[in-house]
Structure 1
């Protein structure tokens, strides 16, 4: 801790010297500033900015102008919001905020801790304000856009003096055509700098870029590649979009770097020229093995390659696969915005020994294949979408689309067109060819409506009519289209209470509530160690041994209260694996995200030598429950093994655990 303070003090002292040299004596502070910051200060001086400026011309857009910009950046917002939420779960309660800005530095959306947001308002770190470098001086958002690279601007490194209270890390977001279209920023108090923040911003921007690329090229073949097989599916993979006739339509920045070529040398060229292999044989090898990969030789190096997308609809070298045109059209419609279900994720694989989760799985399994809607309840991040996906993959509709829509993440003005679709020209900005809504995309499969409790009342009435009549009418159309869907909904709200206060339709509630299951929060689950092992094994891939966790690391994970639930655990394990050195397989406490240690201080006193909770001072019932939980944990959540070890029946063990 003393070393950290010393480093902070040294940094502050160097910045004070640098500012005095540059602003008071007009001298370059060589060796006192990162070169990138020094160059930015010089640009700001050329812009005519003064370091003591308090107000910025055109401080913030009004509500109508901001709404226009939000609509213009709709795709960027839709793909970025889930990632911003994930990032915020990582930094919650650290006095920070997550910011999305457009390609001009205009802040579009912010998520943050209330105490820091109120202070950020004083320097206009709010939606509608521009943080272009030529207006705000050196800052992470504007400077990252100028440099087209990830940037950290710490405290007094900001050009404007009154922005010195901020520490900001930002990474530009590049569109599928390789041009910057936005920036993701993590800002906080300059006195509470966090390690790894710049890396988190860079990783998050990469994930957004990947989502954008896949969303834009939904109807194309995606050729995913990397020199290491375990990086396939990660933000580090290269992706090329290829048309049905074998032409490369687009390639992401990772792809050009991996191939050692410029984007202009790849786009609008034949696949065989760019990848030195023919596409048709690769399709033959991979189209019947979803998510499998093969190895090819490109530029004298091995390249692991995976194909995703509409492989059966290819027409290459005069050869057309035997699929009718009508079938291809239907497949394209189903593919747009469809969330793919992981082939190995079923209700059986979700069952890792927790009693409450097993009860939910058993109840859901009983209605597989029946026309009964299921309502999944639980805290945010408890795994509701994962459960819905596993439910779909376990039933007879497993080979049909699984389409998800988060009702809370889309503005009220856009959710209607997203859900019901629209006809060409139905509203200003609509695509001339129109667009199918999520309901039509899910035809024959499963429609998952996440956070259904946040759906606007007027749309609840339309959804109810669709469920009753089994027909949907897109916006701007008078033609009703038949749909066949299995409906799964989820919410963290108590819908009965929402009905009572008039925020949710009672008739829709009873229509959705065919079977209700409740997922336990992570902090109450008894299978955390098994869950950690499964996530780490899946995240590590097949090309490396699954990482192991030290006992200290596992105890830290178990002691944490997990406000973000499984979503946060997943992210924490991803961060830990990412921080492993090459060849390292043991995850220790030093690899874990910092927020996991906020409850560490009081954990030793509450745990015995085995790492399980210490024996409580309470009733015999409480002691019995504790012994049952500890035994269950030691046998990896296996109910039968725990019952045998305790010398009691399974039913008695269930009662001890309070599950009957």
Structure 2
């Protein structure tokens, strides 16, 4: 018992020393989160504070509100759990406020995670628990690892938490995907391996959400997926009507919410071709779709074959 009290005191002293420092927050993201936990939320690292539990009716309403997300996320949670369950870790999905909506843990580990307060209905926001994987991931909107004594609260320092944010089709933050472990022998290399899995699954979930939202549009993938799903939804006139968060960042579109629709060509940087160029592109697309059959291409364009020949000649398109 005395040893435990000493551990709590030593951790609290370390946190307070960092919080009092004028430079620590600038040097370390963890120290910056500790400062928020102390200054903004008034938390004490030495005090044990059980994660607040929402009542069952509130949790049910929150799950219903996240129904679309939950439907798409459950298979992804199963997939991730299947990859890490043998490590004694558990998988959790929270809403954008840090309330746990769903989780996966081996039967023999569920009691331990319940003691930590990691179960459905518990609030793991940074405001409630200080620096922790779920809350700090949501506060900073980025994938991260909070390993053991990087937690703000002393009673959470036995855990390693690995998290990635999930962004909806409109670029808004909708959830956090979390893998937590209370193993004392959890290594940094294992954390990094799990982090790669968590990030990959969060990107796949974002892709699922985007494709479901724009199921009646053409979806284009641009750029690398390492920083998120770069997806654009394009209508039949090649107008961009939707963009994922990563695509918004890449193309300078407002971070979240509605945006002014714009031609795909404007985003991709292709030179403007004017009306004649647009007409030539339309004719070439029709001919290509028809496999070179000019009669079929003319029907698709709604013109006669002779008219198509005249336009092809004017636009410099060979019959071959």
TM-score range, shorter chain: 0.7 to 0.9
- Quote how far apart the aligned CAs of 1:16 are: 9.2
CA distance in 1 between partners of 2:111 and 2:288 (Å): 53
2:92 to 72, 76, 99: 99
Q: How many residues align?
A: 272
- Asked whether the 8 Å contact 1:18–1:33 carries over to 2, the reply is no
Aligned to 2:264: 271
- Quote how far apart the aligned CAs of 1:241 are: 0.6
CA distance 1:240–1:54, change in 2 (3 Å): same
1:171 to 164, 171, 174: 164
CA distance in 2 between partners of 1:115 and 1:96 (Å): 11
Aligned to 1:221: 218
CA distance in 2 between partners of 1:282 and 1:223 (Å): 21
Q: Kindly provide the CA deviation profile for residues 441-496 of structure 1, in whole angstroms up to 9, marking residues without a partner as x.
A: xxxxxxxxxxxxxxxxxxxxxxxxxxxxxxxxxxxxxxxxxxxxxxxxxxxxxxxx
Aligned to 2:194: 197
SS in 2 for 1:249: strand
2:237 pairs with 1:245: yes
Aligned to 1:51: 45
Aligned to 1:423: none
SS in 2 for 1:199: helix
1:210 to 207, 212, 220: 207
SS in 2 for 1:55: coil
- Quote how far apart the aligned CAs of 1:40 are: 0.5
Structure 1 length-normalised TM: 0.38
- Asked whether the 8 Å contact 2:19–2:35 carries over to 1, the reply is no
- Quote how far apart the aligned CAs of 1:32 are: 11
- Quote how far apart the aligned CAs of 1:199 are: 1.7
CA distance 1:163–1:236, change in 2 (3 Å): closer
CA distance 1:288–1:208, change in 2 (3 Å): farther
Aligned to 1:88: 81
Map 1:550-569 onto structure 2 (within 5 A). none
CA distance in 2 between partners of 1:288 and 1:207 (Å): 35
CA distance in 2 between partners of 1:256 and 1:79 (Å): 22
Bigger fraction of residues in helix: 2
- Quote how far apart the aligned CAs of 1:98 are: 0.6
**Structure 1 outlier segments of 4+, above 4 Å:** 15-19, 29-34, 234-237, 264-267, 277-289, 319-322
Structure 1 gap segments, 5+ residues each = 1-14, 290-318, 323-660
- Quote how far apart the aligned CAs of 1:236 are: 5.8
SS in 2 for 1:182: strand
Aligned to 2:253: 262
1:160 to 129, 150, 153: 153
- Asked whether the 8 Å contact 1:210–1:235 carries over to 2, the reply is no
CA distance in 2 between partners of 1:235 and 1:107 (Å): 24
RMSD: 3.4
CA distance 1:140–1:280, change in 2 (3 Å): farther
Q: Kindly provide the CA deviation profile for residues 585-641 of structure 1, in whole angstroms up to 9, marking residues without a partner as x.
A: xxxxxxxxxxxxxxxxxxxxxxxxxxxxxxxxxxxxxxxxxxxxxxxxxxxxxxxxx
CA distance in 2 between partners of 1:192 and 1:285 (Å): 64
CA distance in 2 between partners of 1:190 and 1:32 (Å): 28
Structure 2 gap segments, 5+ residues each = 1-7, 271-277, 292-298, 303-320
SS in 1 for 2:181: strand
Q: Which has the higher contact order (CA 8 A, sep 6+)?
A: 2
- Quote how far apart the aligned CAs of 1:270 are: 1.9
CA distance in 1 between partners of 2:89 and 2:211 (Å): 30
- Quote how far apart the aligned CAs of 1:282 are: 9.0
